[in-house]
């Protein structure tokens, strides 16, 4: 674990979840995308809950076809009560044992990769979600779908921060459509299974989660910046640099995700993120400059061909629903989270993105 995440972060998460996690004792969880950024956290958290909090272990079966898992996903150590199956979730998965929770986190999440794999991106969120819903339905398991804040598209400013009730503004033909539209259909599938079959579904809409464990070759904004800092190169800010985002540190995000999985009201979608600060990419670079031990410079550049343009101008979550229904409350401020991430990336990244 040392290389891929901070032990102190795993401790923080398991302590914050000690009470709600009791529901997992003796249960079986099927986790898709188990070797991705979030999936590897789930595996470590379940293993640590077994060691510290649960009387009877939670058993985890993790699926991943490793399409974007990178060397980080390939090298993960085996953990007690956690098993791994190399499986493409667009194919049916046979499972005869007990099954209490299905967490569908497989996806092609980085814009760089969904530009390279548009059909695979679409299939994992549509066919993959349907296959996993069928499995959950057959076993009476709770089902959680990892959707995205991208389902809101480029929002009307009067809907920022976005509440779950906002219907979004998404292009069905733009360079990001394979991701945004397929996540929307994935949510529709959850709605159909919930209303037609009574399957206990929840949808999570994460807003830019970051932290140790992000692959250097993931090409999302923070690993991209951290890799260039390590290489002593100026940061490349795409477009105008005025586009805004919020960033949620991994410990807060994982606590929020597990609160949805364990306590979410069936049929409901939840935003999980940190609503403040909403900052532009140029402001993000300035923040990084203050936190980093190195000098940080930047250039404003055109979108490269490898990265889908047509980025949403603003993105910020309204998290009142998760706060009220699940008692979700982010605790790690942006500067503190950036510091933990940048210090970690200094020890792990090579600067050879
Ligand atoms: N991390 C975030 O900030 C964020 C934000 C919004 C949404 N999400 C969603 O959360 C989920 C997890 O995100 P992440 O950051 O861990 O992404 P990630 O790319 O690090 O991991 C996803 C994993 O899914 C696997 N995968 C892809 N297609 C598959 C298939 N057909 N069968 C089996 N495995 C497959 C990949 O190999 C990878 O290991 C994704 O669905 C993503 O779209 C994440």
* DSSP one-letter string for 11-72: HHHHHHTTTGGGGGTT-EEEEESTTSHHHHHHHHHHHHHHHHT-SSPPEEEEEE--SS-HHH
Residue 288: inside a domain, yes or no?
A: no
Residue closest to 40 by CA, chosen among 106, 108, 95, 121: 106
Provide the CATH number for the domain around residue 156.
Answer: 3.40.50.720
The pTM assigned to this predicted structure is 0.97
Residue 242: inside a domain, yes or no?
A: no
Atom of ligand 1 nearest to the CA of 39: 16
Residue 323: inside a domain, yes or no?
A: yes
Q: 209-213, 263-267, 295-299: lowest mean pLDDT where?
A: 295-299
Residue 282: inside a domain, yes or no?
A: no
Residue 2 pLDDT exceeds 60: no
| DSSP type of residue 240 | T
Most distant pair of Cα atoms in the chain: their distance? 57
Over residues 234-259, the pLDDT tens digits come to 999 998 999 999 999 999 999 999 99
Residue 153: inside a domain, yes or no?
A: yes
179 catalytic? Reply is: yes
- Shortest-distance Cα residue to atom 21 of ligand 1: 36
Identify which of 5, 33, 108, 330 to mutate to test ligand 1's pocket (most ligand atoms within 8 A of the CB): 33
Over residues 93-124, the pLDDT tens digits come to 999 999 999 999 999 999 999 999 999 999 99
- The number of folded domains in the chain is 1
Over residues 324-340, the pLDDT tens digits come to 999 999 999 999 999 99
Q: 68-72, 198-202, 258-262, 321-325: lowest mean pLDDT where?
A: 68-72
Residue 27: inside a domain, yes or no?
A: yes
Residue 1 pLDDT exceeds 70: no
Q: Which of 112, 179, 219, 238 is catalytic?
A: 179
- The domain in which residue 183 lies consists of 7-209+248-274+315-332
Atom of ligand 1 nearest to the CA of 210: 3
């Amino acid at each position: 674990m040392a290389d891929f995440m901070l032990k102190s972060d795993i401790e923080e998460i398991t302590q914050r979840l000690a009470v709600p996690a009791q529901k997992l004792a003796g249960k079986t969880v099927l986790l898709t995308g188990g070797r991705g950024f979030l999936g590897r956290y789930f595996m470590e958290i379940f293993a640590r809950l077994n060691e510290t909090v649960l009387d009877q272990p939670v058993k985890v079966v993790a699926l991943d076809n490793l399409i974007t898992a990178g060397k980080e996903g390939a090298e993960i150590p085996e953990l007690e009560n956690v098993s791994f199956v190399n499986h493409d979730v667009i194919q049916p998965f046979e499972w005869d044992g007990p099954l209490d929770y299905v967490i569908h986190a497989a996806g092609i999440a980085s814009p760089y990769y969904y530009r390279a794999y548009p059909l695979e991106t679409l299939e994992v969120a549509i066919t993959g979600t349907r296959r996993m819903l069928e499995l959950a339905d057959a076993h009476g398991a709770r089902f959680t779908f990892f959707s995205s804040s991208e389902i809101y598209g480029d929002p009307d400013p009067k809907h920022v921060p976005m509440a779950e009730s906002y219907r979004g503004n998404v292009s069905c033909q733009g360079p990001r459509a394979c991701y945004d539209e397929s996540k929307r259909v994935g949510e529709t599938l959850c709605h159909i299974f919930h209303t037609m079959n009574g399957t206990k579904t929840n949808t999570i809409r994460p807003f830019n989660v970051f932290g140790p464990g992000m692959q250097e070759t993931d090409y999302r904004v923070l690993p991209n910046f951290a890799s260039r800092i390590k290489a002593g190169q100026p940061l490349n800010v795409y477009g105008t640099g005025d586009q805004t985002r919020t960033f949620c540190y991994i410990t807060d995000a994982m606590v929020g995700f597990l609160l949805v999985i364990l306590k979410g009201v069936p049929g409901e979608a939840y935003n999980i993120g940190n609503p403040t600060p909403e900052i532009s990419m140029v402001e993000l670079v300035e923040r990084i400059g203050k936190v980093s031990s190195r000098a940080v410079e930047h250039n404003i550049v055109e979108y490269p061909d490898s990265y889908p343009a047509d980025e949403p101008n603003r993105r910020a979550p309204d998290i009142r629903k998760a706060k009220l229904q699940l008692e979700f409350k982010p605790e790690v401020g942006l500067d503190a989270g950036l510091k933990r991430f940048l210090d970690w990336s200094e020890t792990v990244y090579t600067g050879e993105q």
